[in-house]
Amino acid sequence: MAITEIRRRITTGELPPEVSFSEATLCEELGMSRAPVREALIVLNQLGWVTSQPRSGYLVAPMTLNDLRDLYTMRSLLEPKAAAQAVRQIEELPDEAGSLSDFSANHDDPSDPEWLNRHYRFHRRIVVVGLNREMDRVLSEVLLKLERYFLIDAVQRALAEEPLAHHDLANAIVSGDHKAAADAAALHISQSRVLVTEAILSSDGIRSMPLSRSAGSPPRGAAQ
């Protein structure tokens, strides 16, 4: 599908943040006709992946610390509830319980090229098991947008040094403890937020960014 491929290119940086592109150019690169690409771009514009530029195509959405904060806020509000809801269904879905445990025990390795996809499926599966379609719709977008930040070099290095273990979360859900599952999800999200944010803030690009005072703001103590 056009929307999946365009979103993949944005996530991986093939379409970099704040870079303009035209519908025609994208159609040529994807080998698709204009109709499905146009429809995909309309949806991605509504979801915040791109911004429509009058008479000049589209602009890939930037990656900002404010956006990162907002994405984690959404996770912290919804995922603990999703984990608690999953507990209510997990006994009737033994295959799903096995999938959660299998990822946390055997595939939770950020150095694996498939880790990011498995990580997404792990968290998405928790919501799906809870049978809340609206929560799944929102969180799936949040998780996909976060992948852009997980692919930053500094974050990749941080994950290699301090992996985000998922076994406590998986075990809490499989064990059938609602409160433990919600608490494990909240703790996991908090740890992930700290790791990703600190990795970005300590990266070379941030450390070398020039600092300046806003125009019109005089130094403290200056004559008025």
Q: Are residues 117 and 133 in the same domain?
A: yes
Q: Are residues 190 and 86 in the same domain?
A: yes
For residue 61, the model assigns a pLDDT of 92
Residue 141 lies in a domain: yes
Is residue 112 in some structural domain? Answer: yes
Question: Where residue 224 falls among pLDDT bands split at 50, 70, 90?
Answer: very low
Give the residue numbers spanning the domain of 56: 2-60
CA–CA separation, 170 and 90 (whole Å): 11
**75 and 36 housed in the same domain:** no
Q: Find the CATH number of the domain harbouring 27.
A: 1.10.10.10
Q: Are residues 19 and 95 in the same domain?
A: no
In a domain, 223, yes or no: no
Total-model pTM:
0.85
The pLDDT score that the predictor gives to residue 221 is 52
Q: Is residue 207 part of a domain?
A: no
Total domain count for the chain? Answer: 2
69 and 56 in a common domain = no
User: For residue 184, is pLDDT > 90?
Assistant: yes
Residue 210 lies in a domain: no
pLDDT at 128: 87
CATH number of the domain within which 156 lies:
1.20.120.530
Whether residues 48 and 73 fall in one domain: no
pLDDT tens digits along 14-70: 998 888 888 899 999 999 999 999 999 999 999 999 999 887 789 999 999 999 999
The answer to whether position 221 is within a domain reads no
**Mean pLDDT value across residues 176-199:** 93
Parallel, antiparallel or unpaired: strands 57-60 and 20-21: antiparallel
pLDDT in tens, 91-118: 777 777 788 888 888 888 888 999 999 9
Average pLDDT value for the chain: 87
Residue 126 lies in a domain: yes
Q: Is 222 domain-assigned?
A: no
Q: Are residues 158 and 80 in the same domain?
A: yes
Confidence of residue 149 (pLDDT cuts 50, 70, 90): very high
